[in-house]
Structure 1
Amino acid sequence: MRSIYVINGPNLNRLGLREPDVYGHDTLADLENFIENVGKQHQCEVLCFQSNEEGQMIDWIHEAGDKGAGIIINPGAYTHYSYAIRDAIASVSVPIIEVHISNVHARESFRHHSVTAAVTKGQIVGLGFKGYELALLALLEGEDL
């Protein structure tokens, strides 16, 4: 069975509470249940992780790379300035898709630039939880990702 790591960064543990007009009322547990169920429908093991700590996220990226698991990552605010996470992504040979629940390009200007996107296979923004599903399907279907 294929494995996919879903790595969520800082403040995503606050889904449902944090800016519900931007992120909605569903929680991180709702997101994890949703994407795990999508994985089951496609005979895929989905392993969900969330941390507010940069180093922990880097460790999970390395672990996924060592295990040959694809990665869906929402680096949260680290998207815009974490060269350490960018370098961790670049250091593994598994396909990685960056996802953001909100449309970061329609928000504050500092959110418009991602230092991590350039080392991923693609970026999905603004589609809510559906973006995670699309990323999962792309990883499962994309032989050349």
Structure 2
Amino acid sequence: MTSVLILNGPNLNLLGQRQPEVYGRTTLAEVETMCQADAARLGIDVQFQQSNHEGVMIDAIHAARGVHGGLILNAGAYTHTSIGLMDAISSAEIPTIELHLSNVHAREPFRHQSYIAKVALGVICGFGPHGYTLALEAMARHLE
């Protein structure tokens, strides 16, 4: 069975509480439950992880190599700043989808820059928690 790592970055542990007008009221635990149900429907395994620390995220990407068929990454603010995450994805050679709850292109100009997009299969943004479902479906099709 194909396995996908869903890796969430800084501040996503506060999902549902932090800026609900931007990110919604769904918690990260609820997103994980939704993803597990979607993964079962798609016939894939999902591992869900969150960290506020860039190095921990890089280690998780390295560890995914040879273990997971794909990576869905909501790197949060690290999307716009982390060459290290970009290099980790390139080094791990794991198909990656960049994901954001909000439409980063409709927000502040600094959020329009993405280092992750440069090494990702694609980007899904602006669909709130439903974006995780879209990313899982896209990854499952890519891995077929």
Once residues 143 and 31 of structure 2 are traced to their aligned partners in structure 1, the CA distance between those partners, rounded to angstroms, is: 26
Once residues 25 and 131 of structure 1 are traced to their aligned partners in structure 2, the CA distance between those partners, rounded to angstroms, is: 15
Displaced runs of 4 or more, over 6 A: none
Aligned-pair identity in percent equals 49
**3-state DSSP class of the match of 1:128?**
coil
Q: Which whole-Å deviations, capped at 9, do the CAs of 1:25-56 have from their partners, x for residues lacking one?
A: 11000111111110011121110000000011
1:85 corresponds in structure 2 to 85
Once residues 41 and 77 of structure 2 are traced to their aligned partners in structure 1, the CA distance between those partners, rounded to angstroms, is: 31
1:49 corresponds in structure 2 to 49
Shift of 1:66: 2.7
Once residues 29 and 18 of structure 2 are traced to their aligned partners in structure 1, the CA distance between those partners, rounded to angstroms, is: 14
| Matched residue type, 2:39 | G
Once residues 94 and 53 of structure 1 are traced to their aligned partners in structure 2, the CA distance between those partners, rounded to angstroms, is: 20
Query: Unmatched 5+ residue regions in structure 1?
Result: none
2:16 corresponds in structure 1 to 16
TM-score (ref. length: structure 1) = 0.95
2:61 corresponds in structure 1 to 61
TM-score (ref. length: structure 2) = 0.96
Once residues 138 and 16 of structure 1 are traced to their aligned partners in structure 2, the CA distance between those partners, rounded to angstroms, is: 25
| Matched residue type, 1:56 | V
Query: Unmatched 5+ residue regions in structure 2?
Result: none
Contact 2:9 2:52 in 1 (8 A): yes
